[in-house]
């Protein structure tokens, strides 16, 4: 048995404030950057273009036979982001879509997603002079290195990387190809046109493919501020293109982390502490080491790993290892955490998040309401458990892992192995579900630590039980709300809520009350969770959406108003249009038989507005059947309608699952749920019909991977109330005596 220590590694949370603060640190040297900053779109990695492939700029390469490959700095975990990003680049490039393929960008510094940060802070930067762009781009490259790396999360791929990066890269590539043709034919660039990967000189009838022009085009410098197309000219964006990652997923060629096999590989099964913060006191491993195929039992002090020739052998042998754990938070329980939250709401320090008017006066003059809502811890429950394969070599390491930030994972592994980041080579694979969990570093650094003590390449796999009991959960929090209505209007809204610091940027304003109210007072009590918490699909919007949208229904009832029209009366014009469309599409005004009802909710998140109507039937024995969910979405310009619809329908299933079943509880310092029988999922048999409608819009694209998750829970609970008169203020709905039919 070997023993190895644990190095620490952290991931930084990115916000607009942290971007600007970092820019201030870097800013002292930016004046020099006006002349010395490299062209961001000329940066690349030697590995991305081989043979006769020509790299036009960082994000696109062309072959002589006119094939086009788009690199994207995100992970593919079922959301189809790579296809959408390729559509945006190909549209501006005037590429032949039938010749376009995608490839995940390598986890190297040249492929840091600086466009995410630049777009987040500056947008398109229309008022910034072109001569300053090299400095600005290079500055954001430095800033993004430590803050976002190659983040996949926050619904940022289309709305930031695509809108502010891929479009520019495509337009710059088009300009380079036109310049090459102009030089080749000695004609003005303005006399040329590009379409379907061909450049044409109408006056002479000459044509040349992108592939034929690529080598000469690559000698020109990409324009960092090229002219972008008007949306009226779009032929690729806005159309339902089949996802480019699907063929290999259908034919079985796609490789997920769990599929990886490398020569000489062994397998690791791990046992983590059953009680938070417990440590290994002793290990009895004789029985496990006596099992055929077992190579090692490794004591990592906070974990024990069994190394064997197969995962089955390793996992069975792990059951035979006698582990004595000591210490840890044995008095930690869900009840104790809730009691701490209640105490903090009573006596903790408040931090004001939004204030306007005089809430106290409005509460005194109108019909006042008070309500307390709470949500539990939730696991991510990805279908593919956590896994990572590590192969150490004399001069570095090779890593195969499905991760939501390959670049930061590389850096964390390098730190763990005491290597430079350049010594670690990442081999990206598909993710079998992420939802935020695969942005964490715990499972990759654990795999690296195990590999240090093993004598062969190691694939570490967590069992479902290990995965569920050692997640970084969505926080359990509480919100106390007050409101007042007078003459059919909301005159006051106040909220005091627990903030468990799950990583949600304040700049996204998840705490904001989204209706027009003159008197507001929203404050938080920061109370870090004693249980590891992290980003869970749609993050704090799922909690605040449930709190606020349920309470709005209570305010509507106090005002004697229809809940949907009540929302419309308090909404901005853009939000009101979404609600009006929902009223028509959902059949809101129709009469329903006893036991049936429709609930409504709307949440504006990640620059996308989603309103949902949930139609339920509740039986006398309190069985809830979700019949239909109607979603109306204003996400700005829709890049790929079929992929967008899939994101919405998948989000609805994800949200309904958490509302109906989701709850992680603790007792004696450990998580009580161990597998799916205790943490159930929505099945095909009780999944609802769905209808998705998009608002035609020329606004810039918003996010879509997450915004349809938050509204479905309050819409469901509001429907149950309308059907039964029982108000649900604590999730899941089973706590109120209901069960999913």
Q: pLDDT (tens digit, 9 = 90+) per residue, 174-222?
A: 999 999 999 999 999 999 999 999 999 999 999 999 999 999 999 999 9
Residue 129: which pLDDT band, with cuts at 50, 70 and 90?
A: confident
Q: How far apart are CA 200 and CA 202, in angstroms?
A: 6
CA dihedral over 43, 48, 51, 54, signed as positive or negative: negative
Judge whether residue 5 has pLDDT over 60.
Answer: no
Pairing of strands 739-740, 623-634: parallel
Pairing of strands 519-526, 54-57: unpaired
Residues β-bridged to residue 294? 308
Q: How far apart are CA 712 and CA 558, in angstroms?
A: 23
Q: How far apart are CA 406 and CA 336, in angstroms?
A: 37
Query: How many other C-beta atoms can be found within 10 angstroms of the C-beta atom of residue 588?
Result: 18
3-state secondary structure 315-355: HHHHHCCEEEEECCCCCCCHHHHHHHHHHHHHHCCCEEEEE
Residue 166: which pLDDT band, with cuts at 50, 70 and 90?
A: very high
Percentage of residues of the chain with pLDDT beyond 90: 89
Q: What is the H or E stretch that residue 325 is in?
A: strand 322-326
Specify whether the CB–CB gap between 446 and 390 falls below 8 A: no
Looking at every residue in the chain, the average pLDDT score rounds to 94
Kindly report the backbone phi and psi dihedral angles of residue 156, in degrees, each rounded to the nearest multiple of 5, phi listed first: -100, -15
Judge whether residue 15 has pLDDT over 80.
Answer: no
Kindly report the backbone phi and psi dihedral angles of residue 515, in degrees, each rounded to the nearest multiple of 5, phi listed first: -110, 160
Q: How far apart are CA 181 and CA 193, in angstroms?
A: 10
For 622-651, the DSSP string reads -EEEEEEEEEEEE-SS-S-HHHHHHHHHHH
Model pLDDT for residues 418-445, shown as the tens digit of each residue: 999 999 999 999 999 999 999 999 999 9
Kindly report the backbone phi and psi dihedral angles of residue 25, in degrees, each rounded to the nearest multiple of 5, phi listed first: -70, -45
Residues in the chain: 741
Residue 1: which pLDDT band, with cuts at 50, 70 and 90?
A: low
Residues β-bridged to residue 664? 377
CA dihedral over 110, 115, 121, 126, signed as positive or negative: positive
Judge whether residue 234 has pLDDT over 80.
Answer: yes
Q: How far apart are CA 634 and CA 644, in angstroms?
A: 11
CA dihedral over 583, 587, 590, 596, signed as positive or negative: negative
Pairing of strands 100-104, 68-72: parallel
Q: Which CA distances in Å does 18 have to 173, 332, 660?
A: 32, 33, 37
Q: How far apart are CA 441 and CA 109, in angstroms?
A: 19
Per-residue pLDDT at 25: 43
The alpha carbons of the chain give a radius of gyration, in whole angstroms, of: 27
Q: How far apart are CA 565 and CA 558, in angstroms?
A: 14
Model pLDDT for residues 543-592, shown as the tens digit of each residue: 999 999 999 999 999 999 999 999 999 999 999 999 999 999 999 999 99
Judge whether residue 395 has pLDDT over 80.
Answer: yes
Buried/exposed code over 648-658 (b: 16+ C-beta within 10 A; e: otherwise)? bbbbbbbbbbb
Specify whether the CB–CB gap between 703 and 347 falls below 8 A: no
Please name the residue that has the structure tokens 């809830």: 624
Per-residue pLDDT at 13: 54
Q: How far apart are CA 103 and CA 87, in angstroms?
A: 13
* Secondary structure letter of residue 377 according to DSSP: B
Judge whether residue 22 has pLDDT over 90.
Answer: no
Judge whether residue 402 has pLDDT over 90.
Answer: yes
pTM, whole model, 2 decimals? 0.95
For 433-487, the DSSP string reads --TTGGG-SHHHHHHHHHHHHSSS-EEEE--HHHHHHT--BBPPEEEEEEEEEET
Beta-carbon contacts of residue 16 (< 8 Å; ≥ 6 apart): 120, 121, 505, 507
Judge whether residue 122 has pLDDT over 90.
Answer: no
Q: How far apart are CA 106 and CA 44, in angstroms?
A: 10
Report all structural domains of the chain as residue ranges with CATH numbers, in order of start: 16-170 (no CATH), 257-327+386-461 (3.30.365.10), 335-377+473-740 (3.30.365.10)
Model pLDDT for residues 327-345, shown as the tens digit of each residue: 999 999 999 999 999 999 9
Judge whether residue 617 has pLDDT over 70.
Answer: yes
Q: How far apart are CA 62 and CA 100, in angstroms?
A: 9
Q: 4: helix, coil or strand?
A: coil
3-state secondary structure 40-94: HHHCCCHHHCCCCCEEEECCEEECCCCCEEEEECCCCCCCCHHHHHHHHHHHHHC
Q: How far apart are CA 653 and CA 664, in angstroms?
A: 19
Q: How far apart are CA 136 and CA 547, in angstroms?
A: 40
Q: Which CA distances in Å does 300 have to 271, 281, 312, 450?
A: 10, 11, 21, 8
Query: How many other C-beta atoms can be found within 10 angstroms of the C-beta atom of residue 148?
Result: 30
Per-residue pLDDT at 124: 79
Specify whether the CB–CB gap between 619 and 737 falls below 8 A: no
Q: How far apart are CA 641 and CA 694, in angstroms?
A: 9
Q: Which CA distances in Å does 154 have to 443, 499, 547?
A: 21, 18, 21
Spatial CA neighbour of 377 closest among 328, 341, 331: 341
Per-residue pLDDT at 230: 96
Q: What is the H or E stretch that residue 30 is in?
A: helix 30-36
Q: How far apart are CA 104 and CA 45, in angstroms?
A: 13
For 517-537, the DSSP string reads -SEEEEEEEE---SS-B---T
Specify whether the CB–CB gap between 721 and 553 falls below 8 A: yes
Judge whether residue 23 has pLDDT over 80.
Answer: no
Per-residue pLDDT at 18: 60
Residue 535: which pLDDT band, with cuts at 50, 70 and 90?
A: very high
Q: How far apart are CA 154 and CA 504, in angstroms?
A: 9
């Amino acid at each position: 048995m070997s023993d190895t220590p644990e190095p620490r590694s952290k991931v930084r949370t990115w916000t607009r404030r942290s971007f600007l603060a970092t820019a201030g640190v870097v800013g002292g040297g930016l004046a020099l950057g006006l002349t010395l900053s490299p062209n961001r779109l000329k940066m690349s990695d030697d590995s991305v273009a081989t043979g006769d492939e020509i790299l036009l700029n960082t994000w696109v390469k062309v072959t002589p036979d006119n094939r086009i490959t788009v690199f994207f700095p995100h992970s593919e975990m079922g959301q189809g982001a790579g296809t959408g990003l390729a559509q945006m680049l190909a549209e501006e490039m005037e590429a032949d879509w039938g010749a376009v393929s995608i490839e995940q960008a390598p986890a190297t510094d040249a492929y840091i997603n600086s466009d995410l940060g630049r777009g987040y802070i500056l947008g398109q930067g229309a008022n910034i002079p072109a001569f300053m762009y090299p400095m600005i781009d290079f500055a954001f490259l430095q800033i993004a290195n430590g803050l976002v790396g190659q983040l996949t999360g926050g619904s940022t791929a289309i709305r930031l990387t695509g809108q502010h990066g891929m479009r520019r890269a495509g337009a710059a590539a088009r300009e380079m190809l036109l310049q090459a043709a102009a030089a080749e034919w000695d004609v003005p660039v303005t006399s040329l046109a590009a379409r379907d990967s061909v450049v044409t000189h109408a006056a002479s009838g000459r044509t040349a493919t992108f592939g034929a022009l690529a080598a000469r085009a690559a000698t020109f410098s990409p324009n960092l501020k090229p002219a972008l197309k008007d949306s009226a000219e779009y032929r690729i964006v806005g159309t339902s293109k089949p996802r480019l990652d699907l063929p290999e997923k259908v034919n079985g060629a796609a490789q997920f982390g769990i599929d990886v096999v490398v020569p000489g590989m062994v397998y690791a099964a791990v046992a983590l502490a059953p009680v938070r913060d417990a440590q290994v006191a002793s290990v009895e491993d004789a029985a496990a080491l006596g099992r055929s195929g077992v190579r090692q039992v490794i004591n990592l002090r906070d974990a024990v790993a069994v190394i064997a020739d197969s995962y089955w052998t390793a996992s069975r042998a792990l059951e035979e290892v006698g582990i004595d754990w000591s210490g840890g938070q044995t008095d930690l329980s869900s009840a104790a955490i809730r009691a701490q939250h209640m105490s903090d709401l009573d006596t903790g320090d408040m931090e004001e998040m939004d204030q306007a008017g005089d809430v106290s006066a409005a509460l005194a003059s109108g019909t006042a309401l008070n309500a307390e809502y709470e949500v539990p811890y939730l696991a991510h429950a990805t279908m593919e458990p956590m896994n990572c394969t590590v192969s150490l070599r004399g001069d570095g390491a090779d890593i195969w892992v499905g991760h939501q930030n390959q670049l930061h994972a590389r850096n964390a592994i390098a730190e763990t192995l005491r290597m430079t980041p350049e010594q670690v080579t990442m081999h990206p694979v598909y993710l079998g579900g992420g939802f935020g969990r695969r942005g964490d570093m715990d499972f990759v650094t654990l795999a690296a630590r195990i590999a240090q003590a093993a004598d062969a390449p190691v694939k570490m796999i967590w069992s479902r039980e290990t995965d569920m009991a050692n997640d970084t959960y969505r926080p359990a929090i509480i919100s106390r709300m007050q409101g007042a209505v007078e003459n059919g209007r909301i005159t006051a809204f106040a909220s005091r809520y627990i903030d468990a610091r799950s990583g949600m940027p304040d700049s996204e304003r998840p705490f904001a009350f989204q209706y027009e109210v003159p008197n507001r007072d929203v404050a938080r009590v920061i109370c870090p969770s004693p249980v590891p918490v992290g980003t869970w699909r749609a993050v704090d919007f799922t909690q605040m959406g449930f709190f606020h949208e349920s309470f709005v229904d209570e305010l509507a009832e106090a005002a004697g108003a229809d809940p949907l029209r009540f929302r419309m009366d308090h909404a901005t014009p853009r939000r009101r249009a979404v609600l009006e469309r929902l009223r028509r599409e959902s059949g809101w005004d129709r009469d329903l038989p006893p036991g049936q009802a429709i609930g409504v909710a709307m949440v504006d998140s990640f620059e996308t507005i989603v309103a949902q109507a949930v139609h339920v039937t509740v039986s006398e024995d309190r069985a809830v059947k979700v019949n239909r969910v109607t979603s109306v979405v204003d996400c700005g310009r829709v890049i790929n309608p079929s992929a967008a619809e899939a994101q919405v329908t998948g989000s609805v299933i994800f949200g309904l699952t958490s509302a109906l079943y989701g709850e992680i509880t603790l007792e004696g310092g450990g998580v009580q749920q161990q597998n799916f029988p205790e943490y159930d999922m929505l099945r095909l048999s009780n999944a609802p019909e769905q209808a998705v409608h998009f608002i035609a819009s020329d606004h810039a694209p918003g996010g879509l991977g997450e915004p349809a998750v938050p509204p479905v829970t309050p819409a469901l609970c509001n429907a149950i109330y309308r059907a039964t008169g029982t108000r649900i203020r604590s999730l899941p709905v089973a706590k109120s005596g209901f069960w999913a039919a």
